[in-house]
Homo-oligomer: A and B are copies of this chain.
């Protein structure tokens, strides 16, 4: 069982340490964790760094049996869009997808907070931002496509708020995902 470890930790200076910590947890459960920055499985037909990274991640996802996404909000109310892309990609392959967030609050409250009160109510009662865009209000963890994909796949989305300073390194929620995955794929 190979598990793709999606998330914005690739942007941390100590990402290799996070990658090793996540892989160690996977190993405890008899799984092989695959981090986006791991060497790609084979030569890639790309002539730019970013395209090599893209194709490497695609190849990694194709080569994994499941995906665990770090959906902790990234510079705003939502998860990193690269992680959202990878989550959708793996869901389309029909393989298990799971997620976790280390932040408190649901998508609605975080969106309202992010908009700093620059919202008003439509006649329907729905919140709308200054661009006239509705604020999604289902009380979910993130945009319904992210929550829905995990639910449709029978996965779990663990919300485990931690202190701000530990937000990108706490692996409690991640560990719960790995344990859940180990349970359903035994």
Taking Cβ atoms with an 8 Å cutoff, the residues of A that contact B are 8, 11-13, 48-51, 53-55, 57-58, 61, 74-82, 84-93, 111, 114-115, 122, 128-129, 131-136, 138, 140, 142-149, 151-152, 167-168
Q: In the complex, what distance in Å separates the CA atom of A89 from the CA atom of B152?
A: 13
Q: In the complex, what distance in Å separates the CA atom of A145 from the CA atom of B50?
A: 9
Additional pairs, 10, CB under 8 Å, beyond known A51-B151, A61-B92: A12-B134, A53-B144, A75-B77, A75-B114, A75-B129, A84-B85, A85-B149, A89-B92, A91-B92, A131-B168
Tell me whether B148 and A54 are in contact (CB under 8 A): yes
Name the residue of chain B whose CB is nearest to the CB of A45: B152
List the B side residues contacting A143 at CB < 8 Å.
80-82, 85
